[in-house]
Structure 1
Amino acid sequence: MLPHHADPIAAIATAPGRGGVGIVRVSGKGLAPFVRALLGRDLKPREATYGPWRGVDGQPIDHGLSLWFPAPHSYTGEDVLELQGHGGPVVLQLLLARCLEVAHTALPGLRLARAGEFTERAFLNDKLDLAQAEAVADLIDASTEAAARSAARSLDGAFSRRVHTLQEALTNLRMLVEATLDFPEEDIDFLQKADAQGQLDRLREALAVLRAEARQGALLRDGLQVVIAGQPNAGKSSLLNALAGAELAIVTPIAGTTRDVVQQTIQIEGVPVHVTDTAGLRDSPEVDEVERIGIERAWQRIRGADAVLFLHDLTRWGEPRYRYADANIARGLPAGVPVLHVWNKLDQAGGAPQGPDDIALSAKRGTGLDALRQRLLRLAGWQPGGDGLFMARERHLQALARVEGHLEQADARLREAAAQLDLLAEELRLAQQALGEITGEFTADDLLGVIFSRFCIGK
């Protein structure tokens, strides 16, 4: 544990702004004298006590509930004091300042907590593993009900239990291989009798299922970045408004109305979809400086998208000049970004020259929007029936991919006629280490700093 992790810490644990209730939290070792000095009495563990909190002049700062959680039965695993009062920012700042004043004599070294430091201490004191700790922030940041439920499952340990099951299977397999290395006369016959190949196959199958579920969980957490692109007046802003169910973007028949990006997050079956409307893409002498900047920003968003809705105007599709401009846009779209061709203004045209994977709709009438929503889910790789999903992050996906790579190499070593057992053992060790990064069993301090710095203050 680093030296600063031994310091007692304090912070306002509720969100900035006014609210009905606000919380000041203090965590550290040996807080009992501080509690006595601050409140003038001892508190019963885990029992709410109502009363005033007085300033240095003896006048009450506020009245509220004081809760005392002696170690190790607390969120951080240390002694924790929570003061729950009225949620005014000035009141909470006064209460926090009073805690720091009392600490000069009763709790030397008390300092303001860094972002995420309470949860970091919960991890360091084995109250939570790293996947559960990350789920705390994911639960706070959840943008849909499905995401919140998945984060709650991760916080409850659903993801961690799956990882530990794989860890146990890997440990058993490594024991077999290591035993064979220690007794080389047994060699490959020993592994065959112990069904080492079958164990490795089952491990890889279980990992494949876990990776698929983690990808679903990551999609719930991060959502899908979708950019609507196309020529001016194709109906991009109308489509954004229709998907969002609100008039977010200005819609006029004047080319170049949209000058900057407009973004809105919608949810489709609980999956957050971040939809961005962009300036109409065109190369014309009529484009002024402001619109030119908007077009540049549109291309930037397109290059960073998970998917592009390329919107075509059916009422102008018969014009050679319009089709030529659409073809120019298509050539500029990045190769690695999936493109869904959407044919708009179906209410004004007889039909659409779409391919089997294209969508025809009317943003104005709402026709075809449900089909578009379902196509976006399929494009994202979403599988229905995700009620038991847990939350996952990009770093979890990367760790699981490394595990799969090491197990693939282990499988190759095991299947060789003259099995290279030392290389097999090393691949299994590396696979277990990559798996342990998810729960924090093998995690560099700099990674911990990055993870917890993204938490809010007081959590």
Structure 2
Amino acid sequence: MLARTSDPIIAIATAPGRGAVGIVRISGPQMAPLIAAVCGRPLKAREATYLPFRDAKGVPVDHGLAIHFPAPHSFTGEDVLELQAHGGPVVLQLLLARCLEAAAEFDVASGRARLPGLRVAEPGEFSQRAFLNGKIDLAQAEAIADLIDASTEAAARSAGRSLSGAFSQEIHGLLDALVRLRMLVEATLDFPDEEIDFLQEADAIGQLAELKTQLGAVQNRARQGALLREGIKVVIAGQPNAGKSSLLNALAGAELAIVSSVAGTTRDVVSETIQIHGVPLHVVDTAGLRESIDEVEQIGIARAWGQIEGADAVLFLHDLTRTALPDYAQADAEITRDLEDRLPTGVPVIDIWSKLDAAATAAPSTGVSLSAKTGFGIEALRTRLLEVAGWQAVPEGVYLARARHVQALTRVEQHIDIAAEHLAERAQSLDLLAEELRLAQNALNEITGEFGADDLLGVIFSRFCIGK
């Protein structure tokens, strides 16, 4: 795709299907000849004009609004033309075909085609143009897709903050602090005979400590943003007829899974995404775990273990009406051992004591006691799930982030920690200190896609009077 970024591109910018309005969008250079052919007149910049969209014979294909955004003041940074027509699929395809046809037609005034090389855009190419032309950074480009795909109101609001640049501004603040430190270290390395100790006078140790504090705050908000976007996968596990399907229905607030007193009713995976304070939780109900000679049930149990092994958290249901039975207690103990053996390190298992309404015995103090039938304990479970996910009640300060952003920030933290160790050793480790700061900056660059290596030289030469 990168090799074709000079081509003008066109696409239907609205979702497939019928609607009141549909948009055809074009981005490229020197749009005036195409505008004249399709719209029949020049357009004022950034002003919606109602007019007919004409075919090659001058017959209207449709009537609608045309808006011209001259470069560089457009989403892509190129000339952009938006044609807002009626939202029928056939109408939009006719309009797209007419634009492609008009682009290839010979223009007498310019002595060439009206818009040579116009082609249908590839997925995401308009946003890619915006990034390549410096209109948005990588984090903002990802926020566009996240805003479209947001499954909760909180996720949509957070994606909007990321798109407006809130996350990128935080990263730029970290970069500025990191660059100041790199300048001090590079200056000390370049002028080792100077009497002035750049690092000491500029309080490099204090600057590095402040940088780490700022990084911790950004990491916290990024983790919350990643939770809003990704959510967590919660798998309900336990013996047959322990109340797993009833719990899924209670959490979802709908009858999603078949509930029956017959053991082994659930034979396949049933999943549903629910929201808890705007955080998406992907809840999976599985077949009851037991020894079985039924071939179909064996497949369901194997799939259940597959889901469990890929979970972010497991709800292990214990039927309070049967926990006193020796066979049932032994089977629960075997499942506990299997969970310990098969789950990755760090995956939490929450013990759920179910059927509290029908139990004759008290539930243990550990875990969560509940009744899916009456709803008692369901809210406590929701709270516990948010705790396990690591969610904190700071929705207004959260911007939507991705797992790769969190991972990049973790690498920055690791490099800064090592840099602090080298800084404490002073001159003996300045080269290593400089390298760790460079690696920390590279990790930050992965988030926004900005600030190349040569930029550091420009900052150094502009802020230090080196040529004395």
Question: Do these two structures clear the TM 0.5 threshold for a shared fold by scoring above it?
Answer: yes
Of residues 269-278 and 52-61 in structure 1, the stretch that sits farther from structure 2 once superposed is 52-61
Of residues 190-199 and 209-218 in structure 1, the stretch that sits farther from structure 2 once superposed is 190-199
In structure 1, what is the equivalent of residue 309 of structure 2?
A: 303
Residues in 1 aligned to 2:8 and 2:344: alpha-carbon distance in whole angstroms: 53
Q: Do residues 25 (structure 1) and 25 (structure 2) align?
A: yes
In structure 2, what is the equivalent of residue 348 of structure 1?
A: 358
In structure 2, what is the equivalent of residue 446 of structure 1?
A: none
Question: 1:233 is paired with a residue of what secondary structure?
Answer: coil
Residue identity opposite 1:339 in structure 2: V
- Go from structure 1 to structure 2 and tell me whether the alpha carbon gap of 1:319 and 1:178 turns closer, same or farther (over 3 Å shift): same
Q: How does 1:145-184 map to 2 (within 5 A)?
A: 145-184=153-192
Q: How does 1:156-305 map to 2 (within 5 A)?
A: 156-186=164-194, 189-285=197-293, 287=294, 289-305=295-311
Question: 1:162 is paired with a residue of what secondary structure?
Answer: helix
Q: Do residues 365 (structure 1) and 374 (structure 2) align?
A: yes
In structure 1, what is the equivalent of residue 462 of structure 2?
A: none
Correspondence for 1:381 among 386, 390, 402 = 390
Question: How far off its partner does 1:187 sit?
Answer: 7.7
Of residues 290-299 and 359-368 in structure 1, the stretch that sits farther from structure 2 once superposed is 290-299
In structure 1, what is the equivalent of residue 431 of structure 2?
A: 422
In structure 1, what is the equivalent of residue 457 of structure 2?
A: none
State the Cα deviation string for residues 44-103 of structure 1 (Å, max 9, x = none): 111111122233354432221111111111111111111111112222112111111111
8 Å CA contact retained: 1:53, 1:60: yes
Question: 2:128 is paired with a residue of what secondary structure?
Answer: helix
Question: How far off its partner does 1:284 sit?
Answer: 2.1
Residues in 2 aligned to 1:21 and 1:293: alpha-carbon distance in whole angstroms: 48
8 Å CA contact retained: 1:180, 1:187: no
- Go from structure 1 to structure 2 and tell me whether the alpha carbon gap of 1:140 and 1:207 turns closer, same or farther (over 3 Å shift): same
In structure 2, what is the equivalent of residue 4 of structure 1?
A: 4
| Runs of 4+ that moved beyond 6 A | none
Of residues 183-192 and 165-174 in structure 1, the stretch that sits farther from structure 2 once superposed is 183-192
Residue identity opposite 1:261 in structure 2: V
In structure 2, what is the equivalent of residue 440 of structure 1?
A: 449
Residues in 1 aligned to 2:233 and 2:65: alpha-carbon distance in whole angstroms: 44
8 Å CA contact retained: 2:38, 2:55: no
- Go from structure 1 to structure 2 and tell me whether the alpha carbon gap of 1:368 and 1:136 turns closer, same or farther (over 3 Å shift): same
Residue identity opposite 1:422 in structure 2: D
Between the two structures, name the one with larger relative contact order (CA 8 Å, sep ≥ 6).
1
State the Cα deviation string for residues 260-319 of structure 1 (Å, max 9, x = none): 11111111111111111111111122x2x2222221111111111110111111111111
8 Å CA contact retained: 1:343, 1:352: no
Question: 1:311 is paired with a residue of what secondary structure?
Answer: strand
Residue identity opposite 2:15 in structure 1: A
Residue identity opposite 1:147 in structure 2: A
Question: 1:305 is paired with a residue of what secondary structure?
Answer: coil
State the Cα deviation string for residues 151-170 of structure 1 (Å, max 9, x = none): 00111111111111111111
Q: Do residues 92 (structure 1) and 102 (structure 2) align?
A: no
Q: Do residues 398 (structure 1) and 404 (structure 2) align?
A: no
* RMSD of aligned Cα (Å): 1.6
TM-score (normalizing by structure 2): 0.91
Please list every run of 5 or more consecutive structure 1 residues that lacks an aligned counterpart in the other structure: 444-459
8 Å CA contact retained: 1:216, 1:383: yes
Of residues 185-194 and 57-66 in structure 1, the stretch that sits farther from structure 2 once superposed is 185-194
Identity of aligned residues (%): 68
Question: 2:20 is paired with a residue of what secondary structure?
Answer: strand
Residues in 2 aligned to 1:389 and 1:159: alpha-carbon distance in whole angstroms: 9
8 Å CA contact retained: 1:345, 1:361: yes
Residues in 1 aligned to 2:396 and 2:14: alpha-carbon distance in whole angstroms: 30
- Go from structure 1 to structure 2 and tell me whether the alpha carbon gap of 1:302 and 1:352 turns closer, same or farther (over 3 Å shift): farther
8 Å CA contact retained: 2:21, 2:84: yes
Question: How far off its partner does 1:386 sit?
Answer: 2.1
8 Å CA contact retained: 1:188, 1:419: no
Residues in 2 aligned to 1:148 and 1:18: alpha-carbon distance in whole angstroms: 24
Question: 1:6 is paired with a residue of what secondary structure?
Answer: coil
Residues in 2 aligned to 1:21 and 1:290: alpha-carbon distance in whole angstroms: 49
Please list every run of 5 or more consecutive structure 2 residues that lacks an aligned counterpart in the other structure: 106-113, 453-468
8 Å CA contact retained: 1:352, 1:360: no
Question: 1:387 is paired with a residue of what secondary structure?
Answer: helix
Question: 2:358 is paired with a residue of what secondary structure?
Answer: coil
In structure 2, what is the equivalent of residue 323 of structure 1?
A: 329
Size of the aligned set, in residue pairs, is 440
Residue identity opposite 2:213 in structure 1: E
- Go from structure 1 to structure 2 and tell me whether the alpha carbon gap of 1:383 and 1:188 turns closer, same or farther (over 3 Å shift): farther
Correspondence for 2:440 among 431, 436, 440 = 431
In structure 1, what is the equivalent of residue 102 of structure 2?
A: 102
Question: How far off its partner does 1:368 sit?
Answer: 0.3
Question: 2:428 is paired with a residue of what secondary structure?
Answer: coil
- Go from structure 1 to structure 2 and tell me whether the alpha carbon gap of 1:293 and 1:422 turns closer, same or farther (over 3 Å shift): same
Residues in 1 aligned to 2:102 and 2:409: alpha-carbon distance in whole angstroms: 48
Question: How far off its partner does 1:402 sit?
Answer: 1.1
- Go from structure 1 to structure 2 and tell me whether the alpha carbon gap of 1:187 and 1:119 turns closer, same or farther (over 3 Å shift): farther
Residue identity opposite 1:434 in structure 2: A
Residues in 2 aligned to 1:187 and 1:234: alpha-carbon distance in whole angstroms: 76
